[in-house]
Chains A and B, each alone.
With several copies, the nearest count.
Chain A
Amino acid sequence: MAELTYREAVAHGIAQEMRRDPSLVMLGEDIAAAGGVFKTTVGLLDEFGPLRVRDTPISEQAIIGAAMGAAMTGVPVIAEIMFSDFLAVCWDMIANELAKSRYMTNGQVSFPMVIRTANGGGARFGAQHSQSVENWAMMIPGLKVVAPATPVDVVGLMAASIRDPDPVVFFEHKSLMAAKGTVPDGEVVDRLGTARVVKEGTDLTIVALALMVPRALEAAARLDEAGISAEVIDVRSLVPLDAQTILESVSRTGRLFTVEENPRMCGWGAEVVSIVDEEVFWDLDGPSIRITTPHIPLPAAAALEDMAIPGVNRIYETILKSVDGPGEAR
């Protein structure tokens, strides 16, 4: 058992896998000598050397292309795209090439690769360095999508992503970097496509991801005090999606709330609501409510950013109002 920060867990998880598989390599901007701008790859160059841990030019398309070409010829790769906003710079590589090539070639090519990227807000970096773009990846068939909320999940899901034969976009949350948690000794390997009930409850279900998980938990604790028993689910992996865990919970509680950091439209929560609506409609006791960042670019000023991203208060108030609301009275 070790106490690790989320940031340390990234390097820890990667190192575990690079020790296991001597063919695994990584590349990205400032990941080697500098240990990454978020210090998530510290120590890897020293342990694994410059041939396996490579600094690149600012050429995101070339980075993803290099990873793809290596992966399709038998070398598994971890590519870093420094900020998830920059996925846009290489979106053709990811959405049109990486995601589609297996299907287009009827299975002739495989891409055992992970694209790691720092995602999310709260760091006051402004609109171009703060987005939560898990839905960008989720909407593209052929990609798997993971977003851990805790250090142990970082390690376990990183290992699972690296071992997965498909391309995985792995979102590391900037505002969780300093969060601490225990990680078991020895090899830690998790499974993609498994959500986790992080708090049990009976009155309603809150589905959250990444930074929204601790906030949802805190709101749920306050709801408990108000006599409302909320179940909280950490989705962890958007693709594959553990729909069963969500459906089972919502069927039981009768109410669904999503907490999404993304701007509202076409967020992952919309998809979850539509699945729930389609499959367990008759178990619902009221409308499904999405708590999201408003549909705006993220502002830089601390005061504004904190208003934009769902916080404990907003989650708590929204849920409280909704379960007490006129709908329920009807």
Chain B
Amino acid sequence: MPTDYRYDYSRRDPRLPPPVDRALEHAPIPEDVRLGMYRKLQELRQFGKRAHDLFLQNLVKGTTHLSLGMEAVATGFGAAMRPGDYSFATYRGHAHSLARGVDPGAALAELLGRENGVLGGKGGSMHLTDVAKGMMGSYAIIGAHLCIANGAAWSAQMRGTEQVAVAFFGDGTTNIGAFHEALNMAQVWKLPVVFVCENNLYMEYTPIDLVTAVEHPAAGRAASYGMEPIVVDGNDPDAVYLVATRVLERARRGAGPSLVEAITYRSGGHSRADPGKYRPAAEVEAWAGHDPIPLYHSRLLAVGVPEATLGTIQREVAEVVDAATEFARAGREPGEPSLLTEVFADGGSRWRN
């Protein structure tokens, strides 16, 4: 039986990006916030590219999942969140970590499996965590962290702190059971939690629409949980920032959870050295034309930021990422002692006397 052409996913009709919303030029976003977002975008992009290079140099072992092309979601939310808020991410968690202020050097060192990594090398690329920064963890098995984010939100609710928990996840994650359980409980308990689906159109190598009963994997399910269906251009930092501000405020004042679907696209592969060939060339190309960095660059020029300011930011970030790389490469391999630490809260791993 010859394979139906539809199973060569690269030959399907391309799914195109939305047009840039020019009206956002007039959005009420202070310039310092915008410049901060531009800096963050640059940091996430340059960090991601560096991680990719180091992977190709075989310095990042195992696997790594980059957010190249998807940086605006982490950026917009990162800018809207408060320091005490909680972030929960997937294996694709570098951008979300940096967006909360995790040190790029410690993050890169973790990818390299070094002792000076943010997890001492024990967690690796898929598990970046920095509790001091509100980055409560990157979880590599689909679904669980939505439930855990609920718990952090429940705790904030009980402690009356106005903290909000935000869980980031992919389109593919909307089809796992834990998604359903988490969203229902969040609404029933009116938890201060925001669920952010980064819909990059692919669940690994499979187009999301081929495995999902509705067009919008997240927004199309919002009504099941008494939530508003929210779809946003995930490549536009301003658009994301505005939505983030709104849903965070809602959560903070006790009005309950929200579900946001941010449409975006990976410019690279799913992980490691995946060339992403299962995607139509026209699609990859169209989304390259909707990349958040040139998009936001133009936006800032349009609202009057001088080109030179942006150039300076780019160069400053480049220095930061170079320094981070130095820091990471200079780290030692973790040694025997740390192997058996931190299984239990006494610091060790003793399971018997």
The reply to whether A and B meet directly (CB within 8 Å) is: yes
Which of B35-43, B132-140, B300-308 forms part of the interface with chain A?
Answer: B132-140
A53→B217 CA distance, assembly (Å): 24
CB distance from B278 to the nearest CB of A (A): 6
Q: Please encode chain B, from 105 to 121, with 1 for each CB lying within 8 Å of some chain A CB and 0 for all others.
A: 00000000110010111
A299→B152 CA distance, assembly (Å): 25
CB distance from A185 to the nearest CB of B (A): 25
Q: Please encode chain A, from 27 to 62, with 1 for each CB lying within 8 Å of some chain B CB and 0 for all others.
A: 001101110010000000110111110111111111
CB distance from A216 to the nearest CB of B (A): 21
A319→B4 CA distance, assembly (Å): 56
A70→B165 CA distance, assembly (Å): 11
Q: Does B27 contact A (CB under 8 A)?
A: no
A144→B147 CA distance, assembly (Å): 22
Q: Please encode chain A, from 164 to 179, with 1 for each CB lying within 8 Å of some chain B CB and 0 for all others.
A: 1110000000000000
Contact of B206 among A34, A51, A61, A296 (CB under 8 A): A34
Interchain Cβ contacts within 8 Å, total number: 308
225-260 of chain B: CB within 8 A of chain A = none
Q: Which residues of B contact A58 (CB under 8 A)?
A: 142-143, 172-173, 175-176, 203, 211
A106–B172 contact, CB under 8 A? no
A59–B177 contact, CB under 8 A? yes
B3–A46 contact, CB under 8 A? yes
Q: Which residues of A contact B14 (CB under 8 A)?
A: none
CB distance from A113 to the nearest CB of B (A): 10
A105–B123 contact, CB under 8 A? yes
> Could you tell me how many residues of chain A have their Cβ less than 8 Å away from some Cβ of chain B?
88
Which of B17-25, B70-78, B280-288, B335-343 forms part of the interface with chain A?
Answer: B335-343
B350–A142 contact, CB under 8 A? no
A110→B345 CA distance, assembly (Å): 7
Q: Does B153 contact A (CB under 8 A)?
A: yes
Q: Does A158 contact B (CB under 8 A)?
A: no
Q: Does A197 contact B (CB under 8 A)?
A: no
B129–A108 contact, CB under 8 A? yes
Q: Which residue of B lies closest to A89 (CB)?
A: B141
A62–B120 contact, CB under 8 A? no
B211–A55 contact, CB under 8 A? yes
Q: Does A67 contact B (CB under 8 A)?
A: yes
B1–A57 contact, CB under 8 A? no
**Contact residues on B (Cβ < 8 Å of other chain), bracket:** 35 or more
A62–B184 contact, CB under 8 A? yes
B7–A33 contact, CB under 8 A? yes
B122–A59 contact, CB under 8 A? no
A66–B339 contact, CB under 8 A? no
A126–B154 contact, CB under 8 A? no
Which of A72-80, A148-156, A202-210, A223-231 forms part of the interface with chain B?
Answer: A72-80
B185–A59 contact, CB under 8 A? yes
Q: Which residues of A contact B93 (CB under 8 A)?
A: none
Q: Please encode chain A, from 265 to 280, with 1 for each CB lying within 8 Å of some chain B CB and 0 for all others.
A: 1000000000100000
Complex A-B: 27 CB contacts under 8 Å: A34-B205, A46-B2, A48-B1, A54-B189, A57-B185, A58-B172, A58-B175, A62-B150, A62-B184, A65-B144, A65-B147, A66-B147, A69-B147, A69-B153, A72-B136, A97-B139, A102-B343, A106-B119, A109-B136, A124-B61, A126-B62, A127-B122, A243-B353, A296-B349, A297-B343, A303-B113, A303-B334
A-B contact sample (12 more), CB < 8 A, given A30-B204, A126-B62, A302-B61: A33-B206, A49-B4, A58-B175, A59-B177, A61-B143, A69-B136, A96-B144, A105-B122, A109-B136, A166-B344, A303-B333, A304-B122
